[in-house]
Copies of this chain bind each other. A is one copy, B any other.
Amino acid sequence: MAITIALDAMGGDYGPQVVVPAALSVLLEIKDVTLILVGDHKSIYDLVIANKGVLNERLVIQHASQKVEMDELPSQALRSKKDSSMRVAINLIKSGKADACVSAGNTGALMATARFVLKTLPGIDRPAIVSTLPTVLGHCYVLDLGANVDSSAENLYQFALMGSVLASAIDNVPNPRVGLLNIGTELIKGNDQIKKAGQMLARSRLNYIGFVEGDDIYKGNTDVVVCDGFVGNVALKSSEGVARLVKHFLKESFNSNLLTKLMGFLTLPVLNKFRKKMDPRRYNGANLIGLNGVVIKSHGGADIMAFAHAIHIAIIETQKDVPKHISTHLEPWLTEGQVN
């Protein structure tokens, strides 16, 4: 199956400087894929040449005259950036010329544009941002990571359904364990939305395991963790903060004197193996799920390796046809969990 992925070449902190070499590295690894670099033709062309790449049927440039800024308001981008690299890349999915798109650009604008152009799947009110996070045993899908604040019980229920279908399609888990993120059982057990969503999930056909807490994300005891976007975003960023703090303390401990520095040098292979396990680039590429099409959001500060990883995710999700899985699985399920 030949796959075509549109890449927003101007998005992210580094734009084509990262996107072009990442695209070239993916083309070396995967044969039956075509990549469309969308953005300023000259900048992209120069970088393709500088990186010893060749334009052919597998690597194409699609010119776009505008660029969405990282701090631009989504509504502004939607209204006045109709020829942005982001918008053109998403249009390529709509017109059937691409199967998926990857962007490291402004998340709010990407979500608004993708929703406007592609529309949500039947039965889905709001798309969500979903990504995998590492666990003791592998990984876990967490959604929503920041697309929606003040999610209703119905939204949370839809996130759970989409997450379950995704985990099942991508990882071949037959019956993914779904947990609803809540606060400690000995505390006030969540707000009304959480309680109602819990009731809906308990009645559904999903493998709902009940409330989970923040630390359960990393324990490997659940395949999908469902939460409101505000909460999910804070959980994600806090986790990144702790991981960075740990790295800082570890470095500080090894750097305290000559002897400990020597020890650090000797244990470098072990520490590198550890670093690789914790490398956030290995988890780059969040899915904007719930749309008529595969849209992958890369971290804005992604480097070449990280952006290439996001392209790989787009390829896998296209191969597995995640949106179709969601629509076919969703329709009969969407009504059954409703609480009157």
Contacts and interface: CB of A to CB of B under 8 A. Distances in A.
Interface of A: 70-71, 74, 106-108, 134-136, 146-150, 181, 183-188, 190-191, 213-219, 227, 229-231, 233-246, 248-250, 252-254, 256, 260, 263-264, 266-267, 269-271, 273-274, 277-278, 300
A13 to B, nearest CB: 11
B181 A234 contact: yes
B187 A108 contact: yes
A238 B253 contact: no
Given A249-B274, A271-B253, A187 B233 contact: yes
A5 B134 CA distance: 43
A108 to B, nearest CB: 5
Contact of A241 (B148, B214, B229, B274): B214
A231 B235 CA distance: 8
A238 B103 CA distance: 27
Copies per complex of this chain: 2
Contacts of A135: 245
A246 B267 CA distance: 17
Contacts of A263: 266-267, 270
Contacts of A108: 186-188
30 contacts: A106-B186, A135-B245, A136-B245, A146-B184, A149-B183, A149-B188, A149-B191, A150-B191, A183-B237, A184-B237, A186-B300, A191-B230, A213-B234, A214-B233, A214-B235, A214-B238, A215-B238, A216-B241, A218-B244, A238-B239, A239-B242, A249-B277, A249-B278, A252-B277, A253-B271, A253-B274, A254-B267, A256-B273, A260-B267, A260-B270
Interface of A is mostly: helix
Nearest to A261: B270
A169 B231 CA distance: 30
A241 B254 contact: no
A235 B234 contact: yes
Contacts of A216: 241
A234 B241 contact: no
B70 A186 contact: yes
A244 B264 contact: no
Contacts of A264: 267, 270
Given A181-B234, A215-B237, A242-B242, A147 B187 contact: yes
B146 A183 contact: yes
Nearest to A185: B71
A243 B246 contact: yes
B237 A239 contact: no
Contact of A267 (B187, B227, B267): B267
B244 A234 contact: no
Contacts of A252: 277
Contacts of A269: 260
Contact of A190 (B134, B230, B238, B256): B230
Contacts of A240: 214-215
